[in-house]
Amino acid sequence: MSISRVGLVSIWLLLGWSIPALSQDPAPATPQAVATDAGAAGQSGVPLSPPPPASFNDVMDRVVQREHFFLAQMRHMHPMVETYLQDLKTGKDENDSPVKDEYFLGRLDLSDGPEDTSFVGQPGFGRRMLNRLTGLYSMHFLPLGFAQMVVLDTDFQKKYYNFTFVRREFLGEVRCLVIDVEPKKDASPGRFIGRIWVEDQDYNIVRFNGTYYSRPNSSFYLHFDTWRLNLRAGMWLPAYIYSEESNLKYGIAKSLHFRAQTRLWGYDLKALNKNSEFTQILVDSPQSVKDQSDVGADATPVVAERMWERQAEDNAVERLQKIGLLAPPGEVDKVLQTVVNNLLVTNNIDLQTDVRCRILLTSPLESFTIGHTIVISRGLLDVLPDEASLAMVLAHELSHIVLGHPFDTKLAFNDRLFFPDEDSFQRFDFKRRPGDEEAADTKALELLKNSPYKDKLGSAGLFLKALQQSAPELPNLIRPHLGNSMANGKGIRMSVLLTSAPELEAKRTDQIAALPLGGRIKLDPWSDQVELAKAKPVPLVSAREKLPFAITPFFPYLTRLSVPGSEKVALTAPVTK
């Protein structure tokens, strides 16, 4: 399957639309449309907002103009882009279940056409990746095909499209014009066909849903639903793409059935990693200045060893954050640290050095330690069903720290961090020896039995059963990139909890062993900050809605920034009514 290009797009204007049929709100000035009137603005030359559109034709002029501005913005940005895909089959009960999965991670570059830098040892986005099927006709997934869905059209022009106004509709708090888009009859393949949602103040496209036009028996194009968020004033940038095919025919009696999620983040890594000491004047408070004259002693060997380990730990953590793989410190870290503290206090453990928790921003389910820092992936946090299951994961990693398992301090030398970002998964290795993993399991069980979670470990064991059951079909979701696997051919982590867990019952709606991806953690694509989604769980209507480890569509609650620099972003969890 290839999406080799996004073609030019044509526009046919519906004549006769006037301003009452659309929106009378004036649109704020943009870099492309700024009117200056000396009579109205005086000698100051203050730029005025352009007049409101007088017709549907004028609206489409604004939309095209803003889309060109969007492309100009994207050429200067290099966000992380991650796609996770599950091949599905429909069983006798008419339910879909995964049979295979694929995973792509890279950094997107639109400065000279879509390109990528891959992080997971695969060829670039512009090359064929994996043979999906064998035989005379094989289907290939191009990661570029998913990443390129951030762009409606690389040369969006009115003369190539037919447009039809459908209605007005709210997406979250943002009022939008809904417009159907269809290439003209003489259009060449690769032009967008589907529906767009245009916010009615600046006329930015905030959502587009459809595919790219192709001639019969030629190229195959996937259907997709792309969402953009208002991450900064005047900037709507792509954050989520959902793609799905239920019965795409190709080859000889073959069909494609899959679901995929693509996420983008890391738009502002430069600002995130800048040295603020050199960009703003900071004055230390008197309390932070400590007279060391009363100490006057070098570090003891034990203290020096601890300091050296912490230096290696800090170097690794800072590098992962700078790359865009690790979220900055935030509120979710504090939630995790509360669980860790519960385990430490109830077991009377004093480690002398603080244990820190951080969030890896990728989807594969993994956790590991970097010195005294526990790292847990966004994807794993998404699918854990409750606090006891979270405590189980954290107890295992905490046990490595309590048992004093060795941490390679080679990263205390900064020159070891001088490597390209895309080599991160090859250069960083926080895996543990099998013997250390077994010892950590034993110690973790001891910690849990003395903790507030001791009577709730059945749900943790149930999660492990669901993980064990799904692991053969979802190897790319289970496969770690930096730490040890939670489940593999040799067994599953914390396997002793399996014996005390209840049986998995697929038809019970009140038994939730694991959650779908994307429902618990909200990620700000601009700053990389994460927080817990505030959407409330909804009662399940049928067992089909349990969706353990599943891919589901995105429906973010869109908001519009009204104050420059505001940090308000869209919710990524489903909105319930």
Separation CA 397–CA 357 (nearest Å): 10
Asked if the model's pLDDT at residue 457 lies above 60, the reply is yes
Average pLDDT on 250-256 reads 67
> How high does pLDDT run on average in the chain?
81
Both 362 and 263 in a single domain? no
DSSP run (H or E) holding 264: strand 254-265
Asked if the model's pLDDT at residue 138 lies above 60, the reply is no
pLDDT single digits (tens) 79-105: 999 999 999 998 877 788 899 999 999
CB atoms within 10 A of CB 325: 26
Separation CA 30–CA 202 (nearest Å): 8
Is residue 576 a part of any domain in this protein? no
Both 257 and 163 in a single domain? yes
Is residue 201 a part of any domain in this protein? yes
Query: Given 271, 286, 318, which residue is the final one in a domain?
Result: 271
Is residue 12 a part of any domain in this protein? no
Question: Which range is least confidently modeled, 27-36, 187-196, 482-491, 568-577?
Answer: 27-36
pLDDT single digits (tens) 56-67: 999 999 999 999
> pLDDT: is 524 or 22 the higher one?
524
Both 207 and 266 in a single domain? yes
> pLDDT: is 506 or 292 the higher one?
506
> pLDDT: is 448 or 41 the higher one?
448
Helices (H), 160-292: 269-273
Separation CA 249–CA 430 (nearest Å): 43
Question: Which range is least confidently modeled, 84-98, 140-154, 432-446?
Answer: 140-154
Residue 347's contacts (CB-CB under 8 Å, 6 or more residues apart) are 446, 447, 450, 451
- Local confidence band at 252 (pLDDT 50, 70, 90 cut-offs): low
- Dihedral sign for Cα 122, 126, 127, 133, please: positive
Is residue 568 a part of any domain in this protein? no
Average pLDDT on 488-514 reads 90
Both 199 and 310 in a single domain? no
Separation CA 403–CA 433 (nearest Å): 13
Both 61 and 167 in a single domain? yes
Both 322 and 267 in a single domain? no
Both 366 and 225 in a single domain? no
Both 230 and 344 in a single domain? no
Buried/exposed 132-162: b ≥16 CB within 10 Å, e otherwise? beeeeeebebbbbbbbbbbbbbbebebebbb
Asked if the model's pLDDT at residue 143 lies above 60, the reply is no
Is residue 113 a part of any domain in this protein? yes
Question: Which range is least confidently modeled, 13-27, 64-78, 503-517?
Answer: 13-27
C-alpha pair distances (Å), 296 with each of 292, 293, 299, 310, 393:
6, 5, 10, 22, 42
Both 118 and 248 in a single domain? yes
pLDDT single digits (tens) 523-574: 999 999 999 988 888 889 998 999 999 999 999 999 998 755 444 555 444 4
Length, in residues, of the chain: 577
Query: Given 218, 250, 271, which residue is the final one in a domain?
Result: 271
> pLDDT: is 24 or 70 the higher one?
70
Which string of DSSP letters, residue by residue, matches 347-412? TT---SS--EEEEE-SSS--EEEETTEEEEEHHHHHH--SHHHHHHHHHHHHHHHHTT----GGGG
- Dihedral sign for Cα 498, 502, 505, 506, please: negative
Both 243 and 342 in a single domain? no
Name the percent of the chain lying above pLDDT 70. 77
CB 430 within 8 A of CB 485: no
Both 357 and 465 in a single domain? yes
pLDDT single digits (tens) 107-133: 888 877 655 567 886 543 333 333 332
CB 525 within 8 A of CB 266: yes
CB 473 within 8 A of CB 98: yes
Asked if the model's pLDDT at residue 176 lies above 60, the reply is yes
- Local confidence band at 273 (pLDDT 50, 70, 90 cut-offs): low
CB 81 within 8 A of CB 147: yes
pLDDT single digits (tens) 345-355: 999 999 988 99
DSSP run (H or E) holding 339: helix 331-346
Asked if the model's pLDDT at residue 441 lies above 60, the reply is yes
Asked if the model's pLDDT at residue 148 lies above 90, the reply is no
Asked if the model's pLDDT at residue 21 lies above 70, the reply is no
Average pLDDT on 319-334 reads 95
> pLDDT: is 96 or 454 the higher one?
454
Asked if the model's pLDDT at residue 196 lies above 50, the reply is yes
Is residue 2 a part of any domain in this protein? no
Number of H helices, E strands in the chain: 12, 19
Residue 194, token pair as written in the block: 């589907």
Separation CA 24–CA 533 (nearest Å): 35
C-alpha pair distances (Å), 351 with each of 283, 371, 372, 398:
33, 12, 10, 11
- Local confidence band at 256 (pLDDT 50, 70, 90 cut-offs): confident
Query: Given 252, 271, 290, which residue is the final one in a domain?
Result: 271
Q: What is the CA radius of gyration of the chain?
A: 26
Please count the structural domains in the chain: 2
pLDDT in the model for residue 149: 87
Is residue 294 a part of any domain in this protein? no
Asked if the model's pLDDT at residue 437 lies above 90, the reply is yes
Separation CA 77–CA 80 (nearest Å): 10
Average pLDDT on 401-413 reads 95
Helices (H), 450-562: 457-470, 475-478
CB 268 within 8 A of CB 527: yes
Question: Which range is least confidently modeled, 238-242, 281-285, 357-361, 398-402?
Answer: 281-285
Both 254 and 333 in a single domain? no
User: Smallest Cα–Cα separation from 405: which of 364, 447, 374, 379?
Assistant: 374
Is residue 485 a part of any domain in this protein? yes
| Residue 352, domain extent | 302-545
pTM of this prediction? 0.83
DSSP run (H or E) holding 162: strand 161-171
